[in-house]
Structure 1
Amino acid sequence: MTSGPRVASATALLLALASLPTSAVAAPADPSALSATSATGRVEGRLPSGATYMMDMPDGWNGTVLLFSHGYTTAGAPNPAQDAPDETTKALLLKQGYALAGSSYATTGWAVTDAVPDQLATLTAFTDRFGEARRTIAWGRSYGGLVTTAIAERHADRIDGSLSLCGLVQGGVANWNNTLDPAFALKTLLAPDSDIPLTGLPDQTAATRAADALTAEVDAAQSTAAGRARIALAAALHNIPVWNQPTQTRPAATDWDAQQANQYEAVKGLLKIAAFNRRQEAESRAGGNMSWNTGVDYAKLLGRSSVRKEVDQLYRKAGLSLRDDLATLDRAPRISADPAAVAWMSGTSSFTGELTTPQLSVHTTGDALVPVQTESALRRAVTAAGSAPLLRQAYTDNAGHCTFSPAEQLAALHTLEARLTTGRWQGTDPRTLNSRARAADPTTPARYVAYRPTPYLRPYDLAHPADGGSHDSH
């Protein structure tokens, strides 16, 4: 196999990482746009970029400020500043004396080039108002986990440690490659004669039209055994778990039909949320298509999937040849990336794995939108960069994206703090994490478990960007 794209040289990559705007980082907030209730309590303001920020200061500050990066906000949706993942967790943190801060980001969508400087400018505004914190921790959920990891790699001098929750820690190029694969399989196997575009979407209207068309094909296929097997194959290429929403019944290990039924709902969610509309927004920022499947061996990817056995069983039950369908995927015309778009996505949203401060990354095991295997991609990059001693990962046994309890989130924070205080990782085992969770909030679940995710199927990072496929512009 040939390697994936290498953007210029290692030096150019590092320069790209450093190319995010600095004026917004250094600029203080506009004093005329700032309002506050008192020296403690809520403070709100506006940054020179136009982003808003909010800060919550407890009555008895413990000296630690938590810089929270929120998740993806759909283009055009309300975009308020956030400084905590939810109100219950916020109340617990304030009660324990933590100061909280976070911005809205100046734009919505795949906004990393705004989010990182806006978060750092918010930290500057916090320091200007309240003084230097004894300890600064960056944390974030979902897309905010990507923002947090970008801060940890590129601006480690501003923080003491970082906490990613259900984060896109596989980075941008890997994310969009892995999102392309299930859509490609569905179109090829369920609608081979259709003209549904998977990339190069000109606007949101076209994206919605394409999502609706492919979703209709999936709905029709779900009524037959062959269609269900093919939907399961597409789900496997994204490592969609068989239990992926808390409202679902957790299926038995060999209940292949129940497993597929759960995946079917997640596949439709992926088409609705990420595969078209969010892709179109990201392509508009990148200046073209930033993902590819040229050179990808789908039989090999399936062989590494966490749900490959389910796919085998459903194909057998349907009397369908899995070998033939994989051959069909191999023969289908592939999608090439725009090198300039890959370079933009790589330079702004992929990771070197080079940590200089401790990071704890936590994931639910049943996440369909940002699969738990993203943690394998993060581990791969950090290990290649020689930073493995600074990273720890933990897992909660629950379905859904970012479905952490307040107790679990506080336990993760306290575990990172212990590392910062002692200089050593300790208590990262499930028993200790659950004990910390129950102590922090006995009213919500503590579900940490021992877990090791299977490989991420389309890894791409700046330590070694090869992902088993090749990318060209022809």
Structure 2
Amino acid sequence: MVAIGLTAAAPAAFAKGPAPAGAPGGDAGFDMAAEAAPSPAACPTGVGEGASCLSGKDSAGALYMIVMPRQWNGDLVVHAHGGPFLGAPTMKRVTEDVERWTIMPRLGYAFAASSYRQGGVAVSAAAQDNERLRRLFIAKVAKPRHVYLHGQSWGASVAAKGAELFAEGKPYDAVLLTSGVLGGGTRSYDFRLDLRVVYQYLCRNHPLPSEPQYPLNIGLPLDSTMKQADLAKRVDECLGLNKPASERTPEQAAKVKTIVDVIHIPERSIQSHLNWATWHFQDIAFKRTGGASPFGNVGAVYAGSSDDAALNAGVARYAADAKAVATLSADADLGGKIPVPVLTVHAIHDPTAMVELQESFGRTMTAAGRGDALVQTFTGDKDHSYLSDPTYAALMEALTGWVTQGRKPTPASIAAGCEKAKATLGSTCRFEPDYQVKPLESRVVKRDRP
């Protein structure tokens, strides 16, 4: 077991060795004897005075970091990061996540974050990597009283999937999902195909007429050398996104308005969603689903432009490949059978993961008979990656009370907890307890599916 410099305030029972045989989690193909112990590491900034950090590389190739606060409360937060990033795993990515979520160790929780073994849209594999890290923490570092699984953005899908995959024995005591992409892999990205076809109808430069043509639902041909800077240049030529609105041509302004009104995304996120609809779609088609695309827009009727009839007649149409849909669904769709409390938060004006994805997730949990285990909260924020320290402090306090005392929180009680936390943490509280999320179909047009 690694020495981590816990103070006397950390109960001795928390510094024991591996969980006994038969404990929650079991073996299930994870051989902790094959895992090297983590090594002491320099802590990123902001994790709290006196904190100790450990890092390592697990047997699957994932890099990870563990933060032990000086005054450990005995509980562990396993963090599932968003993205996904498409490159090879790096410690830089892990460090950035630790720095973003320093609120967790500052509140007294041990915090463990994995890079995952690979980049790209691989949900189940990432969930396995998080579970391996949980077991590694218990075997090599300390035995926590409770383990909370936290997923942010795309990582919320990873966390929800992991809570389903590893439901036996309830190795996680509760789940916190923040700004989550929770509509399932086969439905969460429909609007990005819509963006690609509408953008191409308007701009005709991705691809250019002089370039080889390809089905837009694969994102990009595998042998393409296009870079994000190349796409950004084309988008700026067509839409003028890098200019103040007052400096755009009337034609550019009209095209931007069409995209915003038809796709229902804010102007500030057009470029990023086009990037994801290019390289993430390429990753899915060529690394996950055998070269075919699980995304289609046959039957989709677009509305909101100055000439919807011309738009619907002019956009490219693609049918989703049934086998690709089944493959992606098995990896990335959610079943809702999470056996422990689940708490979510989502900014109503999130520019990256539309808030209506929460409605889809609520339906999934209810259909699985687990609707009573879900509490969803919403804030008036316009951000995605991080809301505020008191927001997450209130959520963790509510989740801990639910687990340890059976006190199920409400959106109103969490909002009140945020105001209480703000007194010491500062920053903002923007919970809207009465907000009712609309159906996902109110924002993303329906389409035919295999």
TM-score normalised over the length of structure 2: 0.78
In the TM superposition, what whole-angstrom CA distance separates every residue of 1:26-79 from its partner, at most 9, and x where no partner exists? 1227454632379x8222222111112221223343221100111225323662
Contact 1:170 1:459 in 2 (8 A): no
Verify: 1:202 aligned to 2:180, yes or no.
no
Contact 2:197 2:315 in 1 (8 A): no
The code of the aligned residue for 1:101 comes to A
Q: Distance in 1 between matches of 2:27 and 2:253?
A: 52
Q: Distance in 1 between matches of 2:122 and 2:420?
A: 34
Match of 1:116 among 123, 127, 143: 127
| 2:99 aligned residue | 87
Q: Distance in 2 between matches of 1:36 and 1:459?
A: 48
Match of 1:328 among 287, 311, 319: 311
The code of the aligned residue for 2:302 comes to Y
Structure 1 segment 103-252 matched on structure 2, within 5 A? 103-156=114-167, 157-191=170-204, 195=209, 197=214, 198-200=216-218, 201-203=220-222, 205-206=225-226, 208=228, 213=234, 216-219=237-240, 223-225=248-250, 227-241=252-266
Q: Percent of counterpart pairs with the same letter?
A: 26
The code of the aligned residue for 2:351 comes to A
| 2:69 aligned residue | 58
Verify: 1:456 aligned to 2:444, yes or no.
no
In the TM superposition, what whole-angstrom CA distance separates every residue of 1:317-357 from its partner, at most 9, and x where no partner exists? xxxxx3x3245315644111222221121111111122321
Contact 2:185 2:329 in 1 (8 A): yes
In the TM superposition, what whole-angstrom CA distance separates every residue of 1:400-431 from its partner, at most 9, and x where no partner exists? 22231122112111111122123242242164
Shift of 1:458: 8.5
| 1:306 aligned residue | none
Shift of 1:161: 0.8
Match of 1:468 among 421, 432, 446: 446
Change in Cα spacing, 1:96 to 1:217, as seen in structure 2 (3 Å) is closer
Match of 1:293 among 291, 297, 316: 297
Q: Distance in 2 between matches of 1:377 and 1:347?
A: 17
* Higher helix proportion: 1
Change in Cα spacing, 1:41 to 1:296, as seen in structure 2 (3 Å) is same
Q: How many equivalent pairs are there?
A: 399
In the TM superposition, what whole-angstrom CA distance separates every residue of 1:412-453 from its partner, at most 9, and x where no partner exists? 1111112212324224216414224315x4322222223233
Change in Cα spacing, 1:459 to 1:471, as seen in structure 2 (3 Å) is farther
| 2:429 aligned residue | 446
Contact 1:215 1:268 in 2 (8 A): no
In the TM superposition, what whole-angstrom CA distance separates every residue of 1:344-372 from its partner, at most 9, and x where no partner exists? 21111111122321111111222222111
Change in Cα spacing, 1:240 to 1:453, as seen in structure 2 (3 Å) is farther
Verify: 1:348 aligned to 2:331, yes or no.
yes
User: What runs of 5+ residues in structure 1 fail to find an aligned partner?
Assistant: 1-21, 242-262, 300-310, 316-321, 461-466
Contact 1:178 1:457 in 2 (8 A): no
| 1:435 aligned residue | 419
TM-score normalised over the length of structure 1: 0.75
Contact 1:293 1:336 in 2 (8 A): yes
User: What runs of 5+ residues in structure 2 fail to find an aligned partner?
Assistant: 1-25, 43-50
Partner SS, residue 353 of structure 2:
coil
Change in Cα spacing, 1:121 to 1:32, as seen in structure 2 (3 Å) is closer
| 1:69 aligned residue | 80
Contact 1:68 1:82 in 2 (8 A): no
Contact 1:174 1:459 in 2 (8 A): no
Q: Distance in 2 between matches of 1:205 and 1:176?
A: 24
CA RMSD of aligned residues (A): 3.3
